[in-house]
Amino acid sequence: MNILDQIFEGGIVGCGGAGFPTHVKLNTQVEYFIVNAAECEPLLRTDRYTMKHRAHDIIDAVEAIGDQLMARKKVIALKGHYHDEIACLEAAISAKNSDVELFFLENFYPAGDEQIMVYEVTGRVIPPAGIPSAVNAVVSNVGTVAAIYDAMHGIPLTQKIITVTGEVNVPTIVSAPVGTPIQEVIDQGDPIPRRYTVILGGPLMGRRVGMDDISKEYVTKTSSGVIVLDEDSHLSGRRNTSIETMLRMAKSACIQCTFCTELCTRHMLGHPLMPHKIMRKLAYNSDVESILEDNDVKQALICSECGVCEEYACPMGLQPRRINKMLKTVYGQMKIRYQREERDEWVANEAREGRKVPSKRIAARMGVDQFYDYVINDCVEVEPREVCISTRMHIGAPAKPVVSVGDMVRKGTLIAAVGRDQMGANIHASIDGTVTYVDDSRIVIERN
């Protein structure tokens, strides 16, 4: 069985974000294989924990993946201040006499953005709405690489490493089976507020979930962080702002200072996104649908939703990122896709180096800098009584259940499958137990 078959059988998807099926992504040949180990969002420690404790596994997997891709360059890109992680990786590279290289990034946000990382490592700008293969590169998150190592040894993706931080007594790393209730993960940190909200992911790009809805959330293959915040905190309040309120604010308060554009991470790569122009068009048009054909407004489709514009750049407290996200939703409903200008080469803005946003400074602007500097060395394992496993944890077709209520399964048993030629990923039982519920969207297993 070759490595792509092992990855497919193991149900490996991108662990750092959207959950792109990895056997599809790696079915190509490129010059650069880049491992994203920059832990893009402030506060998270998941990837750093993985590098410190699985350095040898990571190097083995990078070499195997590089061979599959026929990559001339195999690079792990991580921040230069990750001293312990660098030492672990360098020791593994030396012990294996490996040709894997380390690339040290500055501590800016969002250094872990795929397009930004490719530019930092290769000097090549991925075209707007493009993917790394457009400049002869493939990028995978370090957690995905660790999962590929497991798949190479017959172990499917059933366990996730998650950072629990924020307003908790014990910031911690949690190892949880896929399908674990998020509440059980939160409890490992011992939340401080009586009423709290959580952000699933990082503080900038993560998804906000109110306390009353946490019971509906479960660990997925893409889970990486849980940030606990007081229900009345500044960041929680901003995430509650309605679209209607945001539009009224855009019409009444935008001063066209252009800071959102000058610091936009996509604009700094030379892409034609200019958030201040989108805000201007909204200010002068009461009907959003009337400006959807405007070329400036259509640039919202290439917004990465990193949040620099609204959490750092805008002096008026406006939210261009959320406006762009709303526009992207409307365009998606209309089935309008981005059409970029054809160029032989895209060139980054010459002012880019001076406009990188320091990671700690943006954390301070968001009011979460008190959670920024901490070290976690230990990992707590969660053993839930029951898991609820989604069949839609990846881009593409949902997996189809292959078990029935009453079936006994062991950890690693295939419970939902996709075809080898499909865009999708297999799903496996994450605990030993009995299947108690099955439908097209989820499978529930109760521990024996």
Q: What is the pLDDT of residue 183?
A: 98
Domain range 158-233+367-384, CATH class: alpha beta
Helix (H) or strand (E) holding 158: none
The answer to whether the CB of 137 falls within 8 A of the CB of 143 is no
Query: Average pLDDT for residues 44-71, to the nearest whole number?
Result: 97
d(CA 91, CA 103): 15
Q: What is the pLDDT of residue 246?
A: 77
Q: Which ranges of 54-194 does DSSP label H, i.e. alpha helix?
A: 55-69, 83-96, 114-122, 142-152, 182-187
d(CA 368, CA 378): 23
Question: Taking 70 as the threshold, does the pLDDT of residue 239 lie above it?
Answer: no
d(CA 310, CA 308): 6
Q: What is the CATH number of domain 243-357?
A: 1.10.1060
**What are the CA-CA distances from residue 255 to residues 249, 294, 321, 345 (Å)?**
11, 21, 16, 33
**What are the CA-CA distances from residue 137 to residues 31, 130, 151, 424 (Å)?**
6, 12, 23, 22
Dihedral (CA of 365, 367, 370, 374) sign: negative
Extract the tokens encoding 43: 């506060």
Question: Taking 90 as the threshold, does the pLDDT of residue 140 lie above it?
Answer: yes
* Residue 167, SS3 per DSSP: coil
Q: What is the pLDDT of residue 194?
A: 92
Fold annotation for 3-152: Rossmann fold (3.40.50)
Query: Residue 330 burial (CB < 10 Å; 0-12/13-18/19+)?
Result: middle
d(CA 348, CA 365): 26
Closest listed residue to residue 322, CA positions, set 357, 294, 282: 282
Sort strands 357-358 and 159-166 into parallel, antiparallel or unpaired. unpaired
Architecture of domain 385-448 in CATH? Beta Barrel (2.40)
Residue keyed to tokens 């997997």: 61
Give the residue, 341 or 66, on which the prediction is more confident.
66
What does the domain layout of the chain look like in residue ranges? 3-152, 158-233+367-384, 243-357, 385-448
Q: What is the pLDDT of residue 84?
A: 97
d(CA 321, CA 332): 16
Q: Tell me what the pLDDT averaged over the chain comes to.
A: 94
Extract the tokens encoding 2: 């070759």
d(CA 345, CA 134): 11
Q: What is the pLDDT of residue 237?
A: 66
Extract the tokens encoding 198: 């959580």
* pLDDT tens per residue across span 163-193: 999 999 999 999 999 999 999 999 999 999 9
d(CA 247, CA 376): 41
Query: Average pLDDT for residues 139-160, to the nearest whole number?
Result: 98
Phi, psi at residue 239, to the nearest 5°? -70, -15
* pLDDT tens per residue across span 374-395: 888 889 999 999 999 999 999 9
The answer to whether the bond into 156 is cis (omega within 30° of 0) is no
Query: Average pLDDT for residues 408-412, to the nearest whole number?
Result: 98
Helix (H) or strand (E) holding 32: strand 32-36
3-state helix, strand, coil in the chain (%, to 5): 35, 20, 45
Q: Could you tell me the maximum CA-CA distance found in the chain, to the nearest angstrom?
A: 64
pLDDT tier, 65 (very low <50, low <70, confident <90, very high otherwise): very high
Q: What percent of the chain has pLDDT over 70?
A: 99
Residue keyed to tokens 């497919």: 8
* pLDDT tens per residue across span 99-118: 999 999 999 999 999 999 99
Phi, psi at residue 200, to the nearest 5°? -90, 110
Q: What is the pLDDT of residue 24?
A: 95
Question: Taking 70 as the threshold, does the pLDDT of residue 213 lie above it?
Answer: yes
Q: What is the pLDDT of residue 391?
A: 97
Extract the tokens encoding 347: 């060139």
Give the residue, 15 or 157, on which the prediction is more confident.
157
